[in-house]
Structure 1
Amino acid sequence: MTRRTPPRPLDVEQLFPEVAPLRRRAVRLHPRAGAPTCRDSSVGGPLLWPLEEPWPVCPDHHRSPMVPVVQVRAADALGLVPFPAGCDLLQVLWCPRRHDGCWVVPEVHWRDAAAVGAVRAAPAVVGEVPYGKIPRPCVVHPEPVEEYPSWDLPDELYDLLEPRFEQVEAETGWDYQYHLSTAPGTKLGGYPGWCQDPQWPDCSGCGQRMDHLLTVESWEADAASRLTWTPLEDQGVRYEGAGLMLGDAGGVYLFECRRCPGRPVKDRFDCS
């Protein structure tokens, strides 16, 4: 089923023209509980993993196997995230167990789906795992949306716009941060779904700021953002998502450097 995010309830660029140059496009994945196959884009679904390739394991937990988190085919990235040459599949896994100083340890893999013959099934997860770290298998419904920075607004621009943000909210009830700027939920590209101050990483190789690749959030929308970001098809309907709980309803954000060989990756985590 198609998922269609309603238009913003106000014209953001008319009210706040200063944010127009900062507009970005993201792909909301809209994960919904289902039965994806290893050849589908999914959240928490089976991966198209070659039988001859060892399954990733966590070096910190007696080589405990990592779990599938996201798989996206290039066609479902809708041209908004560049894939490496010769690759049409993005795969993300993480270790769901507790780690000192971080909530999960993720890995990112790119591959050519057509080159995969026999497929390896994910190993069973053995032992106790903290609640909400293994996503429920979900089909996805990719949708491009336009975003404007929320927490990523430069300080001087926020200071300039804050009086207008407050005036618009007082007159209309719509809050720039929750209702007008950055799409919540699991998504490709666009702006990270920060709960707190941004923590953009720089590449260890070239020293430049890395690009946002993927946000994986606990919820597809909280009570505030749900008012304007719930797809038309889901309004008034109860649905099951990925069932994640990352810290106190936080998110994991993956970044990559598209300039350096191998597209190095870093991750960040925050919660409310």
Structure 2
Amino acid sequence: MPAQIPEPPMKDLIPGHADLARETTLLNPEPGDPGVRDSSLGGALLWPADEPWPYCAQEDHWTSGSDWRDPTEIVPGAVPMVPVLQLFARDVPGLEFPEGKDLLQLVWCALIHEQDPGPVMPRLYWRNEAEVTAGGLLTEIPGVSEGEYDEDHMPEPSTLSPTTAADYPSRHDLPGQLRETPLPDSHLIGTKVGGWPAWTQPADWPDCDSGHRMEHLLTITGDIQLGDCGGVYFFHCRRCPGLPWDWRFDCH
């Protein structure tokens, strides 16, 4: 069960601001050696044996050549995505999983793409731990070689110590009457689930195809460099079948 940290004293909150509080789970990554059955940032994933590992095949990608005798050979080609986040429901009870699912996984391409300021092509998976285990695990997950990635986009393998807390919006998400009011710095910056995005630029909430504004699912920031990005924010729509999702970059 995640630990809890004290909420800001209510006397420090201006009327109307307190009503904007949302619960978040700060993940608090610490360098470590997480296994495939651990919640982790940048750790090994519990990956199904019958599901190929995802690759990013942007046309400007370069990868290691096929000649094992020449490790310096770099040729055009797809590169394997890298593990970013794995969360088991038992570690983040504040996160509402789809029915029958208890495992969330996130991977992305660690290369810089000219059309975007940070890592792109993230893929998000909801799974059932027991079903994955029963079907067998992928034992040979491809790694990336030096030169095939930008080290700023490679999370260091880290264990997680989830902590629940009250989170408040940054000024970009405040209603008009509060945006110009001096407020305590009570929005939480860090890799987290739920709560509010800690925008450094104007808020850019995505809508699903049905026109619903998506909810903030999780933020990856602070614990890895991400180039000029303040964070990578993930959103989903729980009102639509299939739980559609989207993401945004936020640059300093």
Q: Structure 1 residues 70 and 13, CA, compared in 2 at 3 Å: closer, same or farther?
A: farther
TM-score (norm 1): 0.78
Q: 2:230 and 2:141 mapped to 1: Cα distance?
A: 26
Give the match's secondary structure for 1:132.
Answer: helix
Contact 1:67 1:122 (C-alpha < 8 Å) held by counterparts: no
1:172-221 residue CA offsets vs partner (Å, 9 max, x unmatched):
xxxx23xxx21111000000122221111111x211110111100034xx
The count of residues paired between Structure 1 and Structure 2 equals: 228
2:80 is matched with which residue? 65
Q: Structure 1 residues 158 and 38, CA, compared in 2 at 3 Å: closer, same or farther?
A: same
Deviation at 1:56, TM superposition (A): 1.1
Deviation at 1:6, TM superposition (A): 5.3
Give the match's secondary structure for 1:77.
Answer: coil
State whether structure 2 residue 204 is matched by structure 1 residue 183. Answer: no
User: Percent identical across equivalent pairs?
Assistant: 44
State whether structure 2 residue 204 is matched by structure 1 residue 199. Answer: yes
One of 165, 168, 178 as aligned partner of 1:157: 178
TM-score (norm 2): 0.84
One of 137, 157, 162 as aligned partner of 1:137: 157
2:92 is matched with which residue? 77
2:106 is matched with which residue? 92
2:33 is matched with which residue? 35
Equivalent residues in 2 for 1:1-272, closer than 5 Å: 5=5, 7-8=7-8, 11-12=9-10, 14-60=12-58, 61=61, 62-78=77-93, 80-102=94-116, 103-105=118-120, 106-117=122-133, 118-120=136-138, 121-128=140-147, 129-151=149-171, 152-159=173-180, 161-162=181-182, 165=183, 176-177=184-185, 181-203=186-208, 205-219=209-223, 244-248=224-228, 250-272=230-252
Unaligned runs of 5+ in 1: 166-175, 220-243
Q: 1:27 and 1:188 mapped to 2: Cα distance?
A: 5
Q: Which has the higher strand share?
A: 2
Contact 1:246 1:271 (C-alpha < 8 Å) held by counterparts: no
Q: 1:12 and 1:199 mapped to 2: Cα distance?
A: 29
Q: Structure 1 residues 140 and 257, CA, compared in 2 at 3 Å: closer, same or farther?
A: same
Q: 1:110 and 1:265 mapped to 2: Cα distance?
A: 12
Deviation at 1:3, TM superposition (A): 6.3
Give the match's secondary structure for 2:210.
Answer: coil
1:134-191 residue CA offsets vs partner (Å, 9 max, x unmatched):
10110000111001112311233213x23xx3xxxxxxxxxx23xxx21111000000
Deviation at 1:116, TM superposition (A): 1.5
Deviation at 1:127, TM superposition (A): 4.3
Give the match's secondary structure for 1:76.
Answer: coil
Contact 2:106 2:125 (C-alpha < 8 Å) held by counterparts: yes
Q: Which has the higher helix share?
A: 1
RMSD: 2.0
Deviation at 1:65, TM superposition (A): 1.0
Contact 1:251 1:270 (C-alpha < 8 Å) held by counterparts: yes
Q: Structure 1 residues 3 and 33, CA, compared in 2 at 3 Å: closer, same or farther?
A: farther
Paired letter, 1:267: W
